[in-house]
């Protein structure tokens, strides 16, 4: 009887749903700052994500930027995703064939026209360095292992014009519900034929910063097991980032853009994006989270 009870308890733990809360802060010179809160609900064959983004400063806030809400439901058992607009009470269905295209990697060739701040990546000679791989640290209450990478770019025509990019990833293997999270991610990746870091690869490639050596970063990260708990992307430059002729800008426009921040290295911050898991909870999630809410209409 005791053995049977223990087996039932173990089965209940293994089947427990997972809720993960994440906070993302973004600071883009000239655009302003924003804060995004996201809650993800997981089962082995489905997930639901609810996102709320609001401007917190700079141009976006001064122009009356309002909170934007969105949601998505991924059903691996149905091979589809629903994209929901909570304000308009509408949804759009996306099948996995379309998702494969969305998650597909951007070709590495032709990256010379991609921009970093107001500079084109092809104008610079780049050097990529994985400074720390396997560094120990703590994110919240969890012991984590991190990969810290730097990319340095020097203008081919002006050696004084430099760009420096920091990219960090931190993983926790002992995070609650990691087994379920890993099972879901593996199933999702296999179903779509992508790797676990596909979305991050695509995002950083769109910024054009790491060019052909980008794979080095994610190959290193792929050696680490665990739930991704924190990422940090910071871009800084020796010159003040410009958006047109600042001298001729009206005072109101200058105030909206704000002053560029000086970094510890004495450069100017162009971009800073930090994402961190702020809550993890194992426990039953209501079935309704994985279904289209009542009253929603299809686009």
DSSP class per residue in 113-150:
G-EETTEEGGGEEEEEEEEEEEEEEEETTEEEEEEEEE
Nearest to 37 by CA among 297, 228, 276: 276
Q: Is the pLDDT of residue 3 over 90?
A: no
The better pLDDT of the pair 132, 218 is held by: 132
Q: pLDDT, tens digit, for every residue of 97-145? A: 887 776 654 444 344 444 555 566 678 887 877 777 788 999 989 999 9
CA dihedral 150, 151, 155, 158 (to 10 degrees): 10
Contact 200, 218 (CB under 8 A): yes
Q: pLDDT, tens digit, for every residue of 256-277? A: 666 778 888 888 888 898 999 9
Q: Left if phi > 0, otherwise alpha if psi is -120 to 50, otherwise beta: which for 211? A: left
């Amino acid at each position: 009887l005791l053995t049977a009870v223990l087996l039932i308890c173990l089965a209940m733990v293994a089947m427990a749903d997972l809720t993960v809360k994440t906070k993302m802060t973004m600071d883009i010179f000239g655009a302003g700052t924003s804060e995004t809160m996201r809650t993800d609900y997981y089962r082995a064959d489905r997930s639901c994500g609810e996102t709320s983004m609001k401007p917190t400063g700079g141009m976006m806030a001064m122009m009356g930027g309002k909170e934007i809400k969105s949601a998505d439901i991924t059903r691996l058992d149905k091979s589809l995703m629903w994209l929901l607009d909570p304000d308009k009470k509408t949804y759009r269905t996306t099948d996995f064939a379309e998702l494969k295209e969305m998650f597909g990697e951007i070709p590495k060739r032709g990256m010379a026209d991609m921009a970093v701040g107001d500079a084109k990546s092809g104008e610079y000679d780049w050097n990529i360095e994985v400074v720390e791989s396997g560094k120990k640290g703590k994110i919240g209450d969890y012991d984590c292992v991190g990969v810290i990478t730097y990319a340095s770019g020097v203008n081919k025509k002006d050696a004084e014009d430099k760009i420096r990019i920091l990219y960090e990833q931190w993983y926790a293997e002992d995070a609650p519900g990691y087994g379920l999270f890993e099972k879901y991610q593996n199933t999702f990746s296999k179903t779509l034929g992508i790797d676990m870091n596909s979305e991050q690869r695509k995002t950083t490639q769109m910024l054009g910063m790491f060019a052909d050596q980008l794979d080095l970063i994610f190959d290193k990260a792929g050696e680490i097991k665990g739930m991704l708990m924190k990422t940090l992307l910071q871009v800084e430059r020796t010159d003040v980032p410009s958006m047109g002729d600042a001298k001729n800008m009206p005072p109101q426009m200058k105030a909206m853009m704000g002053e560029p921040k000086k970094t510890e290295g004495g450069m100017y911050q162009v971009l800073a994006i930090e994402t961190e898991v702020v809550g993890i909870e194992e426990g039953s999630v209501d079935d309704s989270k994985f279904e289209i809410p009542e009253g929603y209409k299809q686009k």
